[in-house]
Amino acid sequence: MWEAPTLLGSALTQTMWTADEIAQLCYEHYQTRLPKQGKPEPNREWTLLAAMVKIQPAIDQACGGANKPVQVTKEVVSMGTGTKCIGQSKMRKSGDILNDSHAEVIARRSFQRYLLHQLHLAAALKENSIFVPGTQRGLWKLRQGILFVFFSSHTPCGDASIIPMLEFEDQPCCPISRRWANKPSEEASDNPETPEDEKKYEDLGSPVTKKMRLEPGIPDGVAHCQSLDNQESGPVPPTVSSSNVPTQELATVAGRAPSGAKVVDVYRTGAKCVPGEAGDSGKPGAAYHQVGLLRVKPGRGDRTCSMSCSDKLARWNVLGCQGALLMHLLEEPVYLSAVVIGKCPYSQEAMRRALTGRCQNVSALPKGFGVQEVTIQQSGLLFEQSRGAVQAKRADSPGRLVPCGAAISWSAVPEQPLDVTANGFPQGTTRKAIRCLQARSQISKVELFRSFQKLLSSISEDKWPDSLRAQELETYHEYKEAASTYQEAWSALRKQAFGSWIRNPPDYHQFK
């Protein structure tokens, strides 16, 4: 059980939840609130699930004692499923297509819809908004005590999925210590100290585990990134130097784990190193990958411009989940308090390295921004439509198990909360209908921008923040660039840690 101190009134209290509670809540939401449309075809398809969960102290807790555990309400406020992303050639300058439909990205964009709705409520002075007025004109801040937990049914693709496989097992069950991960050639001590929250072991005898061995080297939840060809990744290399990860962090996963077990191989990620990075050795066994590098999601014959989910989560941990547009209206970024992963191949150390370790030395960020000490936990509950679970159920069923081609977006908003897409457009969209308004996902760039403009139009201009009053803004690009504190933080992050990050050219953001 995780316990995080939060301020409720003047008392220091304990907010309490477990990883299994978060997972169960998300699985139930998936089963009861998401439609059959967009879900995997039984026994033939699998998918990935991600969600944002709001944690809020119960209202009647305000009078509780200082040392009394706080009862909390847990609510799913956004959810996403999906396994695909489009190739570079299919990207559009009109902002009406989803470039990246991996579950984590769908859940985060759905969360932005939720935040926009909550800002609408705040601007209309509704008391049930999660936002309250900030100290500066036109800015809002989260209501005290509200936290957000990010749930994913699987390990994020990219760096977090480069997980050691030990000689006596086919899954990475033994947590890897930071000292060993940084200096894998050293022999670890016989009695490593293992924090209680890292002792999440898989049942090696379970049918799911045995089935997952059918395709070694690819974790459930990482296979969606596996490329079927030898393509290069990403567009022309940027002029900025590669990420400034300390040399010792660029280790291959080799040597021995703290338990003394020999690392014989690693789970592979299909996400390719971006141009300008050191690159993988491609050697057989545990030396196949370099760790700590930026990676781009592969496509099927058409390379993508989408960074891996590990990289995106690391970025959100510094810049927040709200994005540049909403930063115009917020006093501080909206950060994750915790990340919970479902039952799947998993390494606590790989998760920490990927999500927080690569940015731990980033400094000189603008006020309100910072590298967050996000809590990372794993649940022991398996997502029933994950690749491993479906593989275990189908036994010797004929035909190939394939990823579901559709993505589902759900947001806790009153109008059109659901959005089912395929190939970046609402499912069923014909080629002829692509330019129609109906052929836009609710979480596409252009639709989120339209919602943001609608929010601004509901607020009197004399109550707008300074960042929106200083100049005439028209395009999506202009609005994003005018969020000066966000752009300053993003610039610092790129210069100090993520120099090779692939950015879309400005002409892809010139829509109005």
Residue 240 to residues 249, 276, 295, 420, 502, Cα–Cα distance (Å): 20, 8, 16, 37, 10
- pLDDT confidence bin for 255, thresholds 50/70/90: low
On the question of pLDDT at 491 being above 50, the answer is yes
Alpha-carbon gap, residue 512 to 510, rounded angstroms: 7
Residue 432: beta bridge partners? none
Alpha-carbon gap, residue 369 to 417, rounded angstroms: 30
Instruction: Tokens 């200083």: give the residue.
Output: 470
Inter-axis angle of helices 348-355 and 309-319, to 10 degrees? 60
SS3 content of the chain, % helix, strand, coil (to 5): 30, 20, 50
Tens digit of each residue's pLDDT (9 = 90 or more) over 120-134: 999 998 889 999 999
Joined together, the tokens standing for residue 318 give 């510094």
What's the rounded mean pLDDT across residues 330-352?
Answer: 97
Catalytic position from the list 104, 198, 331, 332? 104
Is 149 exposed, middle or buried (CB count within 10 Å of its CB: 0-12, 13-18, 19+)?
Answer: buried
Joined together, the tokens standing for residue 360 give 């731990």
The answer to whether 104 is a known catalytic residue is yes
Alpha-carbon gap, residue 263 to 510, rounded angstroms: 49
Range scoring the smallest mean pLDDT among 82-86, 202-206, 410-414: 202-206
Half-sphere exposure of 153 (CA within 13 A, CB side): 30
What's CA 308's distance to the chain center, in Å?
A: 9
- pLDDT confidence bin for 198, thresholds 50/70/90: very low
Torsion angles phi and psi, residue 24, rounded to 5: -60, -40
What's CA 34's distance to the chain center, in Å?
A: 20
In this structure, the chain runs to a length of 512
Residue 3: beta bridge partners? 16
Alpha-carbon gap, residue 79 to 109, rounded angstroms: 9
On the question of pLDDT at 210 being above 50, the answer is no
Residue 350 to residues 58, 162, 251, 252, 504, Cα–Cα distance (Å): 35, 7, 12, 12, 28
Tens digit of each residue's pLDDT (9 = 90 or more) over 90-107: 999 999 999 999 999 999
Range scoring the smallest mean pLDDT among 95-104, 154-163, 166-175: 166-175
Tens digit of each residue's pLDDT (9 = 90 or more) over 443-486: 999 999 999 999 999 999 999 999 999 889 999 999 999 999 99
Q: Minimal CA–CA distance to 324: which of 82, 503, 152?
A: 503
Query: Which residues, 6+ apart, have CB-to-CB distance to 192 below 8 Å?
Result: 177, 180, 258, 259
Alpha-carbon gap, residue 376 to 56, rounded angstroms: 19
The terminus-to-terminus CA distance of the chain in angstroms comes to 47
What's the rounded mean pLDDT across residues 359-379?
Answer: 97
- pLDDT confidence bin for 258, thresholds 50/70/90: low
Instruction: Tokens 């593989």: give the residue.
Output: 391
Alpha-carbon gap, residue 222 to 102, rounded angstroms: 11
Query: Which residues, 6+ apart, have CB-to-CB distance to 279 below 8 Å?
Result: 273, 290, 293
Q: What is the mean pLDDT of the chain?
A: 82
The model's pTM is: 0.82
Which residue type occupies 466? D
**368 and 383 Cβ atoms separated by less than 8 Å:** no
Tens digit of each residue's pLDDT (9 = 90 or more) over 66-83: 566 678 999 999 999 999
The pLDDT assigned to 298 comes to 84
**218 and 171 Cβ atoms separated by less than 8 Å:** no
The pLDDT assigned to 276 comes to 78
Instruction: Tokens 């510094």: give the residue.
Output: 318
Cα dihedral angle (141, 143, 146, 151), rounded to 10 degrees? -40
The dihedral built from the CA positions of residue 90, 478, 312 and 28, taken in this order, carries a sign that is: negative
On the question of pLDDT at 415 being above 70, the answer is yes
List the beta strands (DSSP E) in 224-374. Answer: 263-266, 272-273, 295-296, 338-341
Alpha-carbon gap, residue 299 to 90, rounded angstroms: 11
Q: Minimal CA–CA distance to 229: which of 81, 403, 87?
A: 87
**19 and 2 Cβ atoms separated by less than 8 Å:** yes
